[in-house]
Chains A and B, each alone.
Chain A
Amino acid sequence: DGGITQSPKYLFRKEGQNVTLSCEQNLNHDAMYWYRQDPGQGLRLIYYSQIVNDFQKGDIAEGYSVSREKKESFPLTVTSAQKNPTAFYLCASSMWTGPPLHFGNGTRLTVT
């Protein structure tokens, strides 16, 4: 749907475990992004990558890590250092020249 696939849709983990969220795009977009969405907080940028093998921290990168080994893929790892990991995570992509952003359907992560 929309060329960006996030999996799984729902994810449950125990506190203290690392978990990796998948994001794949077939839009041939250069840039990929991870956003976190909490009620009343809007979308906050975690990490973004404009080219393969390069990525930058966004506004709330602490407790998260990413990799960009392939243009099509931008997985996000939520580590045990993230204090409040339960949230809705959205992956997006765009051309290098910029927006519009195309979003995936999101992964809802619940950590108990």
Chain B
Amino acid sequence: GENVEQHPSTLSVQEGDSAVIKCTYSDSASNYFPWYKQELGKRPQLIIDIRSNVGEKKDQRIAVTLNKTAKHFSLHITETQPEDSAVYFCAASGANLQGGSEKLVFGKGMKLTVNP
């Protein structure tokens, strides 16, 4: 089955710096890669996602890149702000033979701290 590795597990940056979170996946059939942000005690919320037919996607200060050959994808946050402090999870899933979806497999998460 799919295995998703995420690193680093923690990252501390100064406000205004950029942050990069990297994930690798094992199943070359995976075709959907979302990123979730979870603030303390709250539910994970989708912040951006990318499908395997796209190499890069951007939404304001966040961007995701996908390298299918190397089986890794990354989240980039520019001009970080204190409210970006949270745990970020990457995930991967594919499609099953019946046309539905395979289950999402999550990385272990990365705690980002943005210091003012």
Chain A interface residues toward B at CB < 8 A: 2, 31, 33, 35, 40-45, 48, 50, 58, 90, 94, 96-106
Cα–Cα distance between A44 and B107 once the two chains are bound (Å): 9
**Chain A binding surface, main DSSP class:** strand
Taking A42-B89, A99-B104 as known contacts, 10 extra A-B pairs with beta carbons closer than 8 A to each other, sorted by chain A number, are A33-B104, A35-B106, A40-B108, A42-B107, A43-B44, A99-B34, A99-B49, A99-B93, A103-B44, A103-B45
**Which residues of chain A have C-beta atoms less than 8 A from B116's C-beta?**
none
Say yes or no: is B43 at the interface (Cβ < 8 Å to chain A). Answer: yes
Cα–Cα distance between A41 and B9 once the two chains are bound (Å): 11
- A–B complex contacts, Cβ < 8 Å, 24 sampled: A33-B103, A40-B108, A40-B109, A41-B108, A42-B109, A43-B106, A45-B103, A45-B104, A45-B105, A48-B103, A90-B44, A94-B101, A96-B100, A97-B100, A98-B32, A98-B102, A99-B34, A99-B49, A100-B46, A101-B34, A101-B46, A102-B46, A103-B44, A105-B42
Cα–Cα distance between A98 and B93 once the two chains are bound (Å): 9
User: Least Cβ distance of A37 to chain B in Å?
Assistant: 9
User: Least Cβ distance of B14 to chain A in Å?
Assistant: 25
Chain B interface residues toward A at CB < 8 A: 6, 9, 32, 34, 42-46, 49, 89, 91, 93, 95, 99-109
Nearest first, the 3 A-B pairs at minimum CB distance are A98-B101, A42-B108, A103-B43
**Which residues of chain A have C-beta atoms less than 8 A from B105's C-beta?**
45
User: Least Cβ distance of B109 to chain A in Å?
Assistant: 5
**Which residues of chain B have C-beta atoms less than 8 A from A58's C-beta?**
103
Cα–Cα distance between A58 and B105 once the two chains are bound (Å): 10
Given A31-B101, A98-B100, is A42 in contact with B106 using a C-beta cutoff of 8 Å? yes
Q: Which of A33, A44, A50, A90 contacts B100 (CB 8 A)?
A: A50
Interface pair B43/A105, CB less than 8 Å apart: yes
